[in-house]
Amino acid sequence: MKIGYVRVSTQEQNTIRQEVMLRELGVDEIFIDKASGKSTDRSELRRMMEYVRKGDTVIVESISRFARNTRDLLELVERLTAREVEFVSRKEAIDTTTPTGKFMLTVFAAVAELEREYILQRQREGIAIAKQLGKYRGRPAKKYPDFDRVVTRWRAGEISAVQAIKQLGMSKTRFYARAKK
């Protein structure tokens, strides 16, 4: 069975191009994630990894759609290989059924990771320059108008921390960090 995997980084991004390419290749099932590739903890990736069976082939548009770093890519492909599932990346023409394909997978994974690091480096440099020019201020701090009142009630023992956090609609970590000040 041919299994397709599609990933885009955000809900707003379109998956059509990847889906069309996979349909043209005759995939039987497509799993689609709209999530960052930074982590392999993606719902459809997990579902796909549970779904595949011996003799299946997982096809992706490019290795960057499957994993963002060499370690994750090699780990995912190793898990597929252990289940006797082949891996094919169209863009890089990688097919893990051959020794050359396995070698090229490692090389391309390292190149993809390097490219991602360059992108992040350029982004950091651009932000630093924008800050120097006064054009970048970062994300504005979220306002919690009832914060002081709720924290006062929490400190007085009138409400629990869980209740305070729920009333404010903030994370536990943010609540304690702001309440400490």
Considering the domain architecture, whether residues 98 and 21 belong to the same structural domain is answered as yes
Residue 59, in any domain of the structure: yes
Order of strands across the sheet with 2-8? 29-34, 2-8, 57-60, 86-89, 94-95
Considering the domain architecture, whether residues 18 and 88 belong to the same structural domain is answered as yes
Considering the domain architecture, whether residues 109 and 155 belong to the same structural domain is answered as no
Considering the domain architecture, whether residues 91 and 8 belong to the same structural domain is answered as yes
pTM: 0.60
CATH number at residue 16: 3.40.50.1390
- Rg of the Cα trace of the chain? 23
Q: Is residue 36 among the annotated active site residues?
A: no
Does residue 101 or residue 21 have the better pLDDT?
21
- What whole-number distance in Å separates Cα of residue 110 and Cα of residue 103? 11
Q: Whole-number mean pLDDT of the chain?
A: 89
Owning domain of residue 169: 147-180
Structure confidence at residue 69 as a pLDDT band (50, 70, 90): confident
Determine the average pLDDT of the residues in 18-28. 94
Considering the domain architecture, whether residues 89 and 39 belong to the same structural domain is answered as yes
In this model, does residue 176 exceed pLDDT 80?
yes
In this model, does residue 118 exceed pLDDT 80?
yes
Considering the domain architecture, whether residues 68 and 155 belong to the same structural domain is answered as no
Give the percent of the chain with pLDDT over 90.
Answer: 54
Catalytic residue among 9, 62, 160, 171: 9
